Amino acid sequence: MASLSVQSEIVAAAAAGLLLAVWLLGVMLWARRRARKARMLKSRIGLTPPESPRRQLSLWIDGKRISTAVPGRSAANLARRLGAFYRRTGWHTPPGLFLGQIGLLMLLAFLLGLFLAHNVVIALLATALAPWLAWILAKRQIDKRQNLFEQQFVDALELGARSLRAGHPFSGSLRLIAREIPAPVGEIFADICQQQDFGVSTDDAIQKAAEQTAQANFRILATAISIHHKSGGSLADMMERLAVVMRDRVRLDRRIHVLTAQTNFSKRILLLMPVAMFVLLNFINPRYMGPLYHTRQGQEIMVVSAVALVIGAKIMNVMAKIDY
């Protein structure tokens, strides 16, 4: 009987893994098809993203053609994407240590699930939840850092414009921003100033920072500065106009956040309610929840429920997102 029980648990775990693999394959195929349609649409309307890290822009000024390279997005492998995602969190711990912490959390989740439920399937589900929770924590940190970046970036542009009007050179205004504005904006401008000290040109330093920073506002600034150095004009006026535009963008983002706040709150309630009831029933009456752990039908119900929660969270995230 013991061997049959172990075999049934192994079969259930294999079925759960197969179901998860099929679901992930379906999601990847759907995402790839959607991305292909998006590229086709952008190609038809002339908005195809560049294939190289930089784009060439040409302007005609006084009968002469002036070309400049501006930062763009390039295709990156999985390791580079994960590295860029981790850098956006602003955590100062090494990536290897963070992955080790996730692995330790997965091990603890597996042992805890096996100790409480005495079931391999539940332990595997708890193990799969550990990296998901780590991703949610990192995503919340990125969103928080991005909101802070947008608020500080407008202040940095206005400070730079005032510094230029006071007679400081452009490199001096960058150093003033790095000194007066805290992280994360201050760290980026401090890195630009450090590259200038090593002999890197201002355009190259700003474009490199724009490529490493997944911020649309900073890429706009890098493009504007690159064009300005080729065509000429008032840097102070340009930075002030950019500050006005980006302040309007921040105001629009806050308005969208208010409009989608009810949807996000409903999403959290709907996702947490089944989990809270499941944990509560396990503490109140463990015998009542026993069939879910010790029968094949109960294990299949829990696997399907977990997958349904993930799919529901994805659908509600899409519903609460507004593209503009």
pLDDT tens digit sequence for 265-291: 888 888 888 888 888 888 888 788 888
Closest CA to 127 of 103, 152, 109: 109
pLDDT in tens, 76-85: 456 666 666 6
Q: What is the mean pLDDT of the chain?
A: 76
Question: Please, which pLDDT band fits residue 49 given cuts at 50, 70 and 90?
Answer: very low
Say which residue, 62 or 288, is predicted with more confidence.
288
In a domain, 24, yes or no: yes
Residue 136: the pLDDT is 81
| Domain coverage including residue 42 | 1-48
Residue 28 lies in a domain: yes
Tokens describing residue 232: 């000429």
**Among 183, 192, 117, 116, which residue's Cα sits nearest to residue 149?**
183
Question: Hey, how many other C-beta atoms are within 10 angstroms of the C-beta on 283?
Answer: 8
Closest CA relative to residue 136, chosen from 322, 316, 313, 320: 313
What is the pLDDT averaged over residues 27-43? Answer: 67
Query: Is 32 a domain residue?
Result: yes
pLDDT at 46: 47
Is 156 domain-assigned? no
Helix, strand, coil % over all residues of the chain, rounded to 5:
80, 5, 15
- Count other Cβ atoms within 10 Å, centred on residue 308: 11
Q: Are 209 and 222 in contact (CB under 8 A)?
A: yes
pLDDT at 7: 56
Q: Confirm whether 34 is domain-assigned.
A: yes
- Tell whether 252 is covered by a domain: no
**Ramachandran angles phi, psi of 45, nearest 5°:** -100, 5
Threshold 0.75, pTM exceeds: no
- Domain for residue 275, yes or no? no
Q: Is residue 319 part of a domain?
A: no
**What's the CA gap between 31 and 237, in Å, rounded?**
42
Q: How many domains does the chain have?
A: 1
Average pLDDT over residues 69-80: 54
